[in-house]
Every structure is written in structure tokens, then in C-alpha cells.
Amino acid sequence: MRPFNYSNNWEKLLTPDIVALLTQIHEYKGEQSLFIEAKADTLTRLVEIAKIQSTEASNRIEGIYTSDDRLRTIIKDKTAPKTRNEREIAGYRDVLNTIHESHDYISIRPNMILQLHRDMYRYEGYDIGGKYKAADNIIEEEDEQGNTVVRFKPVSAWETPEAMENLCNEFEKALGIGIIDPLLLISMFILDFLCIHPFNDGNGRMSRLLTLLMLYRAGYIVGKYISIEHLIEKTKESYYECLQESSFGWHEGENDYVPFVRYMLGVIVAAYRDFSDRVRVLVIGGLSKPERVAELIKNSYGEITKSQIMEKCPDISRITVERALAGLLSSERIIKIGGGRYTKYVWNRDR
């Protein structure tokens, strides 16, 4: 069986670009902690938006959909799921809430991972959750001609319990040394978890839930306010490319963690940047909502879309944003670029 040895491998990850990403994350973490202490009540709306985006994005990556209205009522637990997709969405919602509320008490051990997987499938009518795969599985993809090809063959079913035990033991051991940055260990763990592919179904969603859990336990709680799953969905082509690149030679212990680690750290940096941007908009004192929209466009570098404005101002409705944009255009304070779904706006600095 492939050995796990993070204690010997982590120094290979200290490339200049990865060190730069780690430095940025550490700086952002300090800034976020100070803001949360001072403005905790201000962030309630960000938490609600992040939960919706996380549940929607992580399931949508796996082809699990429902309507926007149904999604919101399910996430708020105001209706019972009707379809299989909705049952899976409700299960993800429950595990996400558990991680938000109890992450300090959920250790990274096989029995806890099995419990989280069980809860993710709690609304299914058949007994699928909380069990490792009973048969070998393979990861397939279609090439440009539509032919199905095997991209990766995970650990066999009979080896999976031991592999998961070894994986969790190595993570705990490496973390206990105290000299390895947890961000590196978390990214390595998730790559190995995906290569083991321990379940018949739900491996991708579990990997994203475990990412949040381990980040929270390490003190990086940006995912509570900005959806990391949403950022992964937006860059899923890069995600799959880096996953494939880092899994090559995995069974022989010769794989290169760097591409996947670099990708994951980049996503975390992007989450912290989004947090800073949204906080800046939320706490602009004394401004009306239209004035906040104007301030956001004015302080943006280059062009910005209506969707981006709404992402950064989650407490402002679409209608209010559209009215604000119309008013700014009428007064020539902003310039409209393009049209239709590709419309962008930029501050008129010549006015």
C-alpha cells in the first residue's frame, strides 16, 4: 500500500510562489480576526450568503441541481426535500451547519469522516451513507471525440479502510510536529483523500466539506463568510487539471503535490480578498445603498459587472443595484461598456 509521509515531503512544497501565497494568507488572517472581533454583527448577512453559495456550488459541481427558490427554502430548512437532488442538497446543508457550529469538536479521524458522510445521505431512502465503497471504482472522463477514458484508478475497496486510517494518522502526526504549516498539510490531505476515493458516491463533496473543517480547526475561518466551494466551481477546469497533474504517479508515491497545493492556496487567497472587498462595502458608514454602489465602482480597478456588484453587496437587492446604475449613467458618473449579459461599468474619471 502507498505510504503517506508528510513530514518528509512538505519541504518540497516551499517554492517561491507557494511561500508568497502562504504569506498573503497569514496576513489576511490577521486582518480578518481583528475585523470579526470589532464587527461580528455586521457579518451575519455574509454568513447566510456563503451557506447558500457553498451548498449550491458544491452540489452543482457534481451535477446536482434544483431551482433557486427551492434551494433557498431548503437551505433555510423551511421545506422538505422532494427529489433525490434536493435530498442530497439538504444533507450537504446539514453537514455544512455541523461544521460551522461544531468544528472544534470534530477530529480528523476515519470514524468522524464516516459520520459526516452518513449525515450527508441522511435523507436518502437507502443505506448509502457512512460506509466505505464496497467495490472498486474508477475515475473516468470523456475525450474530445466522446470516448470514455480512465483518468485515475483509486485505492481498491479492500484497502480503503486501512488507507483512510493511515492517512488520518499521518495528518495528525505531521500536524503534531508543530513546524509544518497546516495549510500545506490540509491541501496534501485533500489530494490524498481524493486519490483514495473512499466512497461509492459523494467523494468530491466530502473533500470540500473536509477542506472547510480542517481550515476552521486551523483558525482559517474565511470560508464561513466567503464560499470556497463557489470559488472552486468558478475555476473548476483549473481544479481538475491540477488534481490530475498532482495525482500522476500517486500509487508509486512519486506524485508532485505542488500543482494542487498551489491551486488550493490560490483559492484561499481569493476568498480572503473577496472578504476584504465585501467588508469594505458593508462598513462604509453613513452611505445609502445607491451611494455604496457608486463607491464600489469608484474604488474598483478597471471594469465591474452587475453580478460582481451584487456579489460584493449581498444585502442590496438586484432592483436597487439596477436603479443605482441607471442613476449613475444618467449623471455620467459611470461609463457603460458592452451590452446585454456582457455589460460592464467603469467610473468616469474625466468627469
Domain borders along the chain are 6-281, 287-347
Output Rg (C-alpha) for the chain, integer angstroms. 22
Q: In whole angstroms, what is the distance from residue 189 CA to residue 192 CA?
A: 5
Q: In whole angstroms, what is the distance from residue 240 CA to residue 100 CA?
A: 26
Q: How confident is the model at residue 40, as a pLDDT?
A: 63
Q: In whole angstroms, what is the distance from residue 336 CA to residue 95 CA?
A: 43
Q: How confident is the model at residue 199, as a pLDDT?
A: 96
User: Which residue bears the cell 474604488?
Assistant: 299
Residue 92 grid cell: 450537504
Confidence tier at 268 by pLDDT (50, 70, 90)? very high
Please determine, for residue 279, whether its predicted confidence score (pLDDT) is greater than 80.
no
Residue 179: burial class (beta carbons within 10 Å; 0-12, 13-18, 19+): exposed
| E-strand stretches of 114-156 | 139-142, 148-152
287-347 has which fold? Arc Repressor Mutant, subunit A (1.10.10)
Please determine, for residue 48, whether its predicted confidence score (pLDDT) is greater than 60.
yes
Tell me if 347 sits within 8 A of 337, measured CB to CB: no
H-state helical runs in the chain = 6-9, 16-39, 44-61, 68-75, 84-102, 110-120, 160-177, 182-196, 203-217, 228-234, 236-247, 258-282, 289-298, 306-312, 318-330
Residue 321 grid cell: 443595484
Please determine, for residue 165, whether its predicted confidence score (pLDDT) is greater than 90.
yes
Confidence tier at 227 by pLDDT (50, 70, 90)? very high
Q: In whole angstroms, what is the distance from residue 343 CA to residue 326 CA?
A: 13
When mean pLDDT is compared across 10-19, 148-157, 209-218, 322-331, the lowest value belongs to: 148-157
Count Cα atoms within 13 angstroms, Cβ side, for 337: 10
H-state helical runs in 103-143 = 110-120
Tell me if 244 sits within 8 A of 154, measured CB to CB: no
Average of per-residue pLDDT values in the chain:
90
User: Measuring CA to CA, which residue among 46, 120, 83 is closest to residue 71?
Assistant: 83
Q: Look up residue 12 and give its amino acid.
A: K
Class of domain 6-281: mainly alpha
Q: In whole angstroms, what is the distance from residue 259 CA to residue 183 CA?
A: 14
Taking residues 24-52, report their average pLDDT: 81
Classify the phi-psi angles of 219: left when phi > 0, otherwise alpha if psi is within -120 to 50, otherwise beta. Answer: left
pTM as predicted: 0.84
SS3 152: strand
- Please indicate whether residue 33 or residue 216 has the higher confidence score (pLDDT): 216
Sign (positive/negative) of CA torsion 231, 237, 238, 239? positive
